[in-house]
Amino acid sequence: MSVPPTPTWLAKPRCPQHLIAVLERAVNALPPAWLFQPVTGEVFDSIEHCKRRLQGYALAEGFDVVQTGGGTKKVPGARFMCSRHGESTRNYRKLENHVEHDKEGTITTVRQRENTLVGQTGCEWSARVSWKDIGKRGSREKGFVLLLPASTIMAMRLSTILSRFLSISTRWTNIRPPKTRLANIV
What CA–CA distance (Å, rounded) separates 142 from 105? 61
What CA–CA distance (Å, rounded) separates 98 from 77? 37
When mean pLDDT is compared over 76-85, 117-126, 168-177, the highest value belongs to 76-85
Q: Please report the sign of the dihedral spanned by the C-alpha atoms of residue 8, residue 9, residue 12, residue 17.
A: negative
State the average pLDDT over residues 137-145: 84
State the average pLDDT over residues 109-138: 78
Please tell me what DSSP assigns to residue 132: E
State the average pLDDT over residues 121-150: 84
Q: Are 52 and 46 in contact (CB under 8 A)?
A: no
Mean pLDDT of the chain: 78
Confidence of residue 165 (pLDDT cuts 50, 70, 90): low
Q: Is the pLDDT of residue 104 over 80?
A: yes
What CA–CA distance (Å, rounded) separates 26 from 82? 20
pLDDT at 170: 41
What CA–CA distance (Å, rounded) separates 169 from 135? 46
Confidence of residue 177 (pLDDT cuts 50, 70, 90): very low
Q: Is the pLDDT of residue 159 over 70?
A: no
Q: Is the pLDDT of residue 46 over 50?
A: yes
pLDDT at 49: 95
Q: Sheet harboring 77-82: ordered strands across?
A: 43-44, 142-147, 126-133, 77-82, 65-70
State the average pLDDT over residues 23-43: 91
State the average pLDDT over residues 141-154: 82
Please tell me what DSSP assigns to residue 55: H
Q: Is the pLDDT of residue 56 over 60?
A: yes
